[in-house]
Amino acid sequence: MATAQDRLTTVISTKGQVILPKAIRDLRHWPAGTRLTVESTSEGVLLKPEPAFAPATVEAVFGSLAFEGRAKSIDEMDAAVAAEAARRARD
């Protein structure tokens, strides 16, 4: 729980804008232009940075990186794994 010394105050402007104290912005690494989501909670308001990318499922992105060429056989994949293991063992 925050102590009285940890609590910072700010004021809502006539436009409804709130300036986050610099100490909070620095602590959270929120430079100017950071997009935040605002959630109303039972205790007040929660601010969270928006994710850099929209949520996605494997199904939604499957196949987005098309491979051109023939599929590798199991023997070719096994050989490639063995070759990489040997290379890593040398390094």
Does 27 fall in a domain? yes
User: Which residues are 18's β-sheet partners?
Assistant: 12
Domain harbouring 49, CATH code: 2.10.260.10
Question: What pLDDT, on a 0 to 100 scale, did the predictor assign at position 45?
Answer: 94
Question: What pLDDT, on a 0 to 100 scale, did the predictor assign at position 5?
Answer: 58
Does 79 fall in a domain? no
Count of domains forming the chain: 1
How many whole angstroms separate alpha carbon 91 and alpha carbon 64?
34
Question: What pLDDT, on a 0 to 100 scale, did the predictor assign at position 81?
Answer: 97
Does 25 fall in a domain? yes
Is the pTM here over 0.75, yes or no?
no
Does 9 fall in a domain? yes
In the chain, which residues have pLDDT < 70? 1-5
Q: Which range of residues forms the domain containing residue 28?
A: 1-66
Does 80 fall in a domain? no
Does 52 fall in a domain? yes
